[in-house]
Amino acid sequence: ASLYPLSSLRPVYEVRCGVLSAREKLELALPGREYCLLVRGELEGLLRWQLKAAMGREDVYVNELPPGADLVLINGRVIVDEGLLEEVSRLAESVGVVVGVMDSELVVLRLTSEVASAFKPVLSKPFHLELLSDLSESAEVVEMDVRLMDDPCDPLRVLGEQVALDFKLMGIEGVRVGESAELRGSVELDDSEGPVLVGEGARVVNSVVRGPAAVLSGSTVTDSVVEGSVVGRGCRLSGSVVRASILMDHVTALDCRVTKSIVGSWTRLMAGACLCGEALSAYELGEEREHVVVGDLCTVGPGAVVYPGVRVGALSSVHGVCKGAVGPFELVVEGGRRAVPLEDALKLAQLRVRESGRYISDFELDVIRALYRGLRCGGRVGA
């Protein structure tokens, strides 16, 4: 299964699915615990820096096991729901070794500290059923009814229910506006169909936000309509983001229209750009297509139109009408394509992050280099 391009520069459990990522949901639902995050090698330094240095977290272990502690390990592709939260809470309080499976997928492991230490090299690999043969015969095997993300459009398909779960975990009903948020001019916050959240430090000016919807901390929304969608942290938006869309963090989208789309962090949608994820039938396009997924650090040029079903890889630029897939590090202009050199991609990343008031870290640059090397070697990082 692949969540490309959303997982190119982040672990799958950091992909926003609703207002929160899977990691954030679990931390909110199960407070006061230590967390062990397993991640592929090229992301280890970045994740450790983000959580420990940038966020000051001391309760998180990255590719390490908490000494002497029993573990409950959860497949990072899981779509968190109340049933899963109840099961994980139960396992955290139980004893022994428990294996939770769904069909041929390994979903949850509860391991004693002794077993976890013995199988540490195996745990650092992707979840797979071969691990079962290495565990004690006394392990309890439990069939679980869960869903796993197999496609980068899955967060859009479950957006409504995930936003509802997140608001419940956050204790939000009706309209909640952060104390440091600003509402200026003519602003309508409509919770008739679901709650509305305007986060701390966010600014909403002359705009309509119809729930269930969220404008997260530090974002500015001007002359816009946000409907049934989530605008991530530090975004700048004018235009419309409607019909179940997700903007990750630090997205700039000015005078744009976004429908049924996911937009990666640090991406810029220029004036008049349109991400059209509305469903088109086979009678209309020759094949059924829906949703748009744009990776991190991309550019969608002025007036560009991205058709339903298109995925745009990280660090790419799209201009004109785009009806087909765009790989990472690609420049697409009216059907013509060329590769974006690594040096140009690194300079773009530095400029985008600098626009938010900080400098890009060496860890972030190293992940971009690793993605580029993986592509040069014929692989696909983040698959």
Q: Does residue 378 share a domain with residue 256?
A: yes
CATH of the domain at 315: 2.160.10.10
User: pLDDT tens digit string along 12-67?
Assistant: 999 999 999 999 999 999 998 888 898 988 999 999 999 877 778 888 889 888 88
| CA gap 262, 277 in Å, rounded | 9
Closest CA to 1 of 104, 141, 74: 104
Q: Which of 93, 127, 143 is the last residue of a domain?
A: 143
Structural domain containing residue 64 = 12-143
| CA gap 291, 309 in Å, rounded | 5
User: pLDDT tens digit string along 59-97?
Assistant: 888 988 888 889 999 999 999 999 999 999 999 999 888
Q: Which of 112, 143, 174 is the last residue of a domain?
A: 143
Residue 71 lies in a domain: yes
Q: Are 308 and 278 in contact (CB under 8 A)?
A: yes
Q: Which helix (H) or strand (E) holds 299?
A: strand 299-300
Residues facing residue 318 across a β-bridge: 300, 332
Residue 168 lies in a domain: no
User: pLDDT tens digit string along 108-123?
Assistant: 989 898 888 887 777 7
Q: Total structural domains in the chain?
A: 2
Residue 173 lies in a domain: no
Closest CA to 239 of 217, 215, 257, 251: 257
Give Cβ neighbours of residue 77 (< 8 Å, ≥ 6 apart): 1, 3, 12, 13, 148, 149, 150
Residue 184 lies in a domain: no
Q: Does residue 247 share a domain with residue 139?
A: no
Residue 364 lies in a domain: yes
Provide the whole-model pTM: 0.92
One-letter amino acid at 266 equals W
Name the percent of the chain in helix, strand, coil, to the closest 5: 25, 30, 45
User: pLDDT tens digit string along 165-215?
Assistant: 999 999 999 999 999 999 999 999 999 999 999 999 999 999 999 999 999
Q: Which of 143, 169, 187 is the last residue of a domain?
A: 143
Residue 210 lies in a domain: no
Burial 204-223 (b: 16+ CB within 10 A, else e): bbebbbbbbbbbbbbbbbbb
Residue 212 lies in a domain: no
